[in-house]
Amino acid sequence: MNRDSEAARGAGDAPAVEVRGLVKAYGDRTVVKGLTFRVRAGSVTGFLGPNGAGKSTTLRMILGLDRPTAGEVLVAGRPYGRLTEPLRHVGALLDAGAAHPGRTARDHLLCVAHAGRLPRARVDEVLAQVGLESAARRRVGGFSLGMRQRLGIAGALLGDPEVLILDEPVNGLDPEGIRWLRHFLRGLADRGRAVLISSHLMTETALLADRLVVIGRGRLLADVSMAEFAAEHGRSRVRVRTDEPERLSQALARKGLRVVPGDGGALEVYAAEAAGVGRIAAHEGVAVLELVQVEDSLEEAFMRMTADSVEYGGRPLGEVV
């Protein structure tokens, strides 16, 4: 049986990564506080949280680079340290700047393959997979950030792993690079691999992931599909502008709608439909100058969800909710 069908067969069985009650304390400071979540085969999971939420610490524990204070992580059903051929189970990109600048891309990957006792033939395969064949004999020092990301991903793929973990993979990628990454990761997931990508930006995660694990201050805030997150947290409001805002505001409030002042003298009406707001205005005899249905962006929903857990955050000006 080839690895693709093996991995596909794994989909739906045991989770590719299982994080159970994970805790990490540095001295008297606990930065990961009882995290439990799963990363499934066949999906791209976004691991999302504001700066300092504990993402990198968690990834390091998944990869056996840091020891949990409590709890455990299982990769393919076992702790990382008990995997006999770890690079065949999980590949990771934690720091795209890790390659020696004086080495060529190919030599860098040959070193990684050698250290991991992986076949040399994989080097040319992964270079082709990430589209770096033509740059294989160039020194890494001259690479753009996007090329370094591709090289880092190539390194993570050397063992043809079931699980791919990428820390902030979008850093340095231009829109074309992001598009490439989306298709690339989707392709891996479609072939039954589990992909976990960390980020502190919802917009870029939404482009790449079909599942979301959101953390804030070391705690789990959500473990949902992208579609569920959008359905639960995307909020709809109506922006309406009139030359009699006071009167319209009172009329809307009488109907039980929550109204707050918006930009440029407009009113923001929460949990409302534009047609309903238009009818109330007509009934009140107030001229409507602008009437727009506004959907909250996923980024706004994410920021609201993590508002209490931003380490060095300030309160946004004009907060209306």
Ligand X SMILES: Nc1ncnc2c1ncn2[C@@H]1O[C@H](COP(=O)(O)OP(=O)(O)OP(=O)(O)O)[C@@H](O)[C@H]1O
Per-residue mark of binding to ligand X, 260-289 (x: CB under 6 A): ------------------------------
Contact 151, 137 (CB under 8 A): no
Interface characters, 199-228, with ligand X (x: CB under 6 A): -x----------------------------
Question: What are the φ and ψ backbone dihedral angles of 57, each rounded to 5 degrees?
Answer: -60, -45
Choose the binding region for ligand X from 50-58, 158-166, 270-278, 296-304 (rule: CB under 6 A): 50-58
How far is residue 38 CA from its own chain's centroid? Answer: 14
Reduced to 3 states (helix: H, G, I; strand: E, B; else coil), residue 71 is strand
DSSP state of 102: T
d(CA 137, CA 147): 13
**Is the Cα dihedral 137, 139, 140, 143 positive or negative?**
negative
Q: Residue 5 or residue 51: which is nearer to ligand X going by CB? A: 51
Nearer CB in complex with ligand X: 56/242: 56
Q: Candidates 43, 56, 129, 309: give the one binding ligand X (CB under 6 A).
A: 56
Q: How far, in Å, are 11, 214, 293 from residue 239 at the CA level?
A: 45, 30, 6
Distance, CA of 4 to CA of 304 (rounded, Å): 39
Please state the closest distance from residue 168 (CB atom) to ligand X, in A: 7
Q: Residue count at the site for ligand X (CB under 6 A)?
A: 11
Residue of 9, 26, 203, 308 interacting with ligand X (CB under 6 A): 26
Q: Which of 52, 91, 159, 192 binds ligand X (CB under 6 A)?
A: 52
If one counts every other C-beta atom within 10 angstroms of the C-beta of residue 137, the result is 10
Query: Does position 68 bind ligand X by CB under 6 A?
Result: no
- Cβ atoms of 63 and 92 within 8 Å: the answer is yes
Minimum CB separation of residue 56 from ligand X in Å reads 3
Q: Which of 42, 46, 49, 86 binds ligand X (CB under 6 A)?
A: 49
Q: Is 169 in the site for ligand X (CB under 6 A)?
A: no
Nearer to ligand X, 64 or 276 (CB): 64
* 15, 46, 54, 146: residue in contact with ligand X (rule CB under 6 A): 54
Which residues lie closer than 8 Å to 180 by C-beta, 6 or more apart?
131, 173
Give the footprint of ligand X on this chain (CB under 6 A). Answer: 26, 31, 49, 51-57, 200
